[in-house]
Each structure stands twice: as C-alpha cells, then as structure tokens.
Amino acid sequence: MKMLVLGGCRSGKSRFAEQWLANRFERKVFIATMRPSDDPEVGWRIALHRRERDERWLTVEEPLDLAAALARPSVIEAEAVLIDCLTLWISNLLLHGLDDRAIEEEVRNLAQAVRAAGQTVVLVANEVGLGVVPDSPLGRRFRDLAGWTNQRLAEVCEPVLFLAAGLPLVLKGEMP
C-alpha cells in the first residue's frame, strides 16, 4: 500500500499516519525531512516526534534525497516506511538552491521509488493551497511546487486522505 496523508498545519496528519502504522506493523522506518537547526522550536519539535515513537521505529534523517533513502538496506528491510513531511522536503530543496526543473526531477524520482517500494509507504504533506496567495515570489513558488508535488504523489498513492481536526476524509481509494 502507498498512502498519501494531506492536511493543514496541526490537522492531525502526522499523528494519524504514525498511529496507523504503529497499529499494523512491527518493523517501521520514519524518514524525517526536518533539518536540525539552531532554532529552539525546531529542536523541540524533533524531540517531541522522537518521544512519540517507540523503539520499533528506526529513524532516518534525510532532508534532500528521499528516493535514495527508500533504497537504503535498513529501509528496504522494514515492513513499512513513513516519510514526514514532503512539504519540508520541498523547502529543503528550495533552500539548497535547486531550480524548479531539478525539484520536479526529484519529485519524479521519489514517485518512482514509492511506486517500486516493496513495503507499505505512507507520505505526509501539508496542503498549502487553501490559504491566501503568498505575497512574495518565493512564497508563490513554494506553494506551486508543494501543490505540484502533492499531485504527483497522489498519482502513485492509494488511498489519499485529507485530515482536518484529526478526522480523515478519503479523497482517493478506500479508508485503510
């Protein structure tokens, strides 16, 4: 199964994805895209996510090359993989200096790797297109790339869920 879980900030998407996997699989990998930084809030968020996962989770920190992360032996050996989150990944690629073509190629590589993965893969992403239009060119570029990324991954995933207030709404496929 390849599942895409979308939602806004604090919608419950990460918690839903983690709990769904925790209830079904013993050997799981969490691929984290958030980069540690000097920002205390980032450190707090990383620590919070780590505390919420038990010892049956292997954590792989990969801010840039998600397709390669899915090919690591420790990931291939797992029953299930959670990638959280695609939106931060797009930010990382932008801040790393990739142009739109290069980011679109990274997204295509990830979609191909997800499709080819032999285990359950759950991807988490923010739906960023429901708010106001960003007032800066970089903000609009980010919004557009994030929306395009969600569309590409939704093509290879089923089910696709949207979370609001912690409640899942099925956009594609059936509730797992």
DSSP labels for 152-165? HHHHH-BSEEEEET
The residues facing 122 across adjacent strands are: 3, 82
State the Cα–Cα distance between residues 5 and 22, nearest whole angstrom. Answer: 15
Tens of pLDDT, residue by residue over 43-91, are 777 677 777 777 789 999 999 999 999 999 999 999 999 999 999 999 9
Whole-number pLDDT of residue 42: 67
Whose CA is closest to 150, among 94, 90, 72, 93?
A: 90
Angle at 40 between CA 96 and CA 87, to 5 degrees: 40
The residues facing 172 across adjacent strands are: 160
CA distances from 92 to 51, 69, 166, 172, 175 (A): 24, 15, 26, 28, 31
The catalytic residue among 49, 123, 145, 168 is 49
Considering the segment(s) 2-167 as one domain, its CATH architecture is 3-Layer(aba) Sandwich (3.40)
State the Cα–Cα distance between residues 49 and 5, nearest whole angstrom. Answer: 17
Tens of pLDDT, residue by residue over 86-142, are 999 999 999 999 999 999 999 999 999 999 999 999 999 999 988 889 999 999 999
Whole-number pLDDT of residue 1: 97
| Other CB atoms within 10 Å distance of the CB of residue 22 | 17
Residue 96 among the catalytic residues? no
pTM of the model: 0.93
Tens of pLDDT, residue by residue over 139-162, are 999 999 999 999 999 999 999 999
Provide the CA 49 distance to its chain's centre, in angstroms.
14
> What are the residue boundaries of the structural domains of the chain, listed by start?
2-167
Whole-number pLDDT of residue 142: 96
State the Cα–Cα distance between residues 42 and 152, nearest whole angstrom. Answer: 28
